């Protein structure tokens, strides 16, 4: 008799559950956002760093502002005050100031004498070369407009869908 009562209760619970499931409104699928277009104006990590070195707030960075900024940023990583950092220390610097350990310029290019150590003078020298490249009008100041790169001929965004070849 107990078995029959348990079976009847079990069936009534299952029936109630299925009735509830049938009366619940269907869950709407989340809307799919359109793919964001590829950026056509970008800034290199080194360019963002140079822009951040504008100390007087005039929206232009001078070479003197850049050299002072590089020295301050170098001092944050050179905690031993040895005057040099290794490539791992440089990766820490790049992560902190450029946003990624692998951002350019690479430590191999910065290490001018190839002694596997980077000095503040070597880092200032590399950023000086970058400064010269960005200073398009050669006025000794780098503006935000000079630090931007405009891309053209971009490929469409890959949505993961592949067209079949005939």
* DSSP string for residues in 86-97: -HHHHHHHHHHH
Which strand (E) or helix (H) includes residue 51?
helix 45-52
Question: What does the block give as tokens for 97?
Answer: 């100031």
Q: Tell which residue, 39, 38, 46, has the closest CA to residue 146.
A: 46
User: How much is the average pLDDT of 141-164?
Assistant: 75
Residue with more model confidence, 94 or 8: 94
pLDDT per residue as tens digits for the range 110-136: 999 999 999 999 999 999 999 999 999
Q: What is the pLDDT of residue 19?
A: 47
Q: What is the pLDDT of residue 36?
A: 75
From CA 103, how far away is CA 79, in angstroms rounded? 22
Q: Indicate the DSSP class of residue 80.
A: T
Domains for the chain: give ranges and CATH numbers.
Answer: 41-149 (1.10.238)
């Amino acid at each position: 008799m107990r078995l029959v009562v348990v079976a009847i209760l079990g069936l009534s619970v299952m029936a109630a559950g299925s009735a509830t499931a049938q009366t619940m409104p269907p869950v709407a699928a989340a809307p799919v956002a359109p793919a964001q277009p590829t950026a056509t104006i970008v800034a290199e990590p080194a360019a963002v760093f140079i822009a951040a070195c504008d100390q007087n707030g005039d929206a232009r960075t001078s070479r003197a502002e850049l050299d002072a900024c590089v020295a301050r940023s170098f001092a944050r990583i050179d905690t031993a005050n040895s005057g040099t950092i290794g490539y791992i220390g440089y990766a820490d610097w790049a992560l902190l100031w450029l946003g990624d350990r692998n951002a350019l310029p690479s430590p191999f290019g910065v290490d001018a004498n190839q002694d596997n150590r980077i000095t503040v003078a070597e880092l200032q020298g590399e950023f000086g070369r970058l400064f010269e490249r960005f200073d398009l009008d050669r006025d000794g100041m780098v503006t935000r407009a000079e630090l931007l790169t405009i891309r053209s001929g971009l490929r469409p965004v890959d949505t993961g869908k592949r067209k079949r070849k005939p």
